[in-house]
Structure 1
Amino acid sequence: MNYPLLNVFLTTMWFFLWILWFFLLFRIFGDIFRDHELSGWGKAAWSVFVIVLPFVGVFVYLIARGRGMGAREVAQAQRNEQEFRAYVREAAGTGSGPVEAADAKGGGGQADQLAKLADLRAHGDISEEEFQRAKEHVLAA
């Protein structure tokens, strides 16, 4: 067993760089296929470029489109959050529309009112004590 400590370090470093490379590839392919503004031909061209010339393709992609990767990820997260909130409202039985539509019909349900109270508390518009009192009032009605 003659394997110097430096070789162990170098082997470990190359192994983690290899894993990092695959994470980067998955991230770039995810960005390519999640981008709704990129045409099908553009997606195909970037995919072929990244597969055929992986190092050059990845670096060119990061230079050309890297700035928008974060913005696209944030936009996707916001869409997911809106869809989740809509699903929760629908599953809670508060109607299929947003809170404002329920208010226009005459007040909305308990879940809508509690959601509004939670938003007010989260934004710091009301204190925890005011939230608890209003919650008790809504649940008692």
Structure 2
Amino acid sequence: MSFWDYLVWFFWFYIAISCIWIFITVIIDVFRDRTLNGWAKALWVLFLVFFPFLAAFIYLIARGRSMAERRAGEMRQAQTETNDYIRTVANTASPAAEIEKAKGLLDSGAITPAEYDSIKSKALAAA
């Protein structure tokens, strides 16, 4: 096997993997699309099974923009959920840390003993 045979084999392997990737992406998008009813999804899948290249090209041309919008929406939603989770985790301080911070404020004279007791009871109640 010569070097050029290897390059040709590698090229066709790349093309095959790319086609499989496109077909899987289109099928996943068909099932994630909430605007399509069951019959339309079934027809797209049948079309993709029997005429894969033609169906993939038609789908990408006809529905490519909505495909990109759905993907961008999913990414925005995932980012929002991640940010919300990080905020909830970051805001939870241990009761001991809250009491320690309140004790420092009490020692510095920033709060009164009554306020310290209130903070301490809230921290212990949250635990």
Under TM normalisation by the shorter chain, which class is it? 0.5 to 0.7
TM (norm. structure 2) is 0.63
Looking at structure 2, the residues matched to 91 and 39 of structure 1 have their Cα atoms a distance apart, in angstroms, of 39
Looking at structure 2, the residues matched to 37 and 91 of structure 1 have their Cα atoms a distance apart, in angstroms, of 36
Looking at structure 2, the residues matched to 44 and 79 of structure 1 have their Cα atoms a distance apart, in angstroms, of 27
Alignment partner for residue 72 of structure 1, among 70, 73, 82?
A: 70
1:51 maps to a residue whose letter is V
1:64 maps to a residue whose letter is A
| Aligned-pair CA distance for 1:38 | 1.7
Looking at structure 2, the residues matched to 40 and 69 of structure 1 have their Cα atoms a distance apart, in angstroms, of 18
> Larger RCO: Structure 1 or Structure 2 (Cα < 8 Å, ≥ 6 residues apart)?
2
Alignment root-mean-square deviation, CA: 1.8
Runs of 4+ deviating beyond 6 Å: none
Query: How many residues align structurally?
Result: 92
Looking at structure 2, the residues matched to 8 and 78 of structure 1 have their Cα atoms a distance apart, in angstroms, of 42
Looking at structure 2, the residues matched to 71 and 12 of structure 1 have their Cα atoms a distance apart, in angstroms, of 33
Looking at structure 2, the residues matched to 87 and 48 of structure 1 have their Cα atoms a distance apart, in angstroms, of 40
Q: Does 1:48 align with 2:46?
A: yes
Where do 5+ consecutive residues of structure 1 fail to align? 95-141
| Aligned-pair CA distance for 1:56 | 1.0
Identity %: 34
Q: Relative to total residues, which structure has the larger helix share, 1 or 2? A: 2
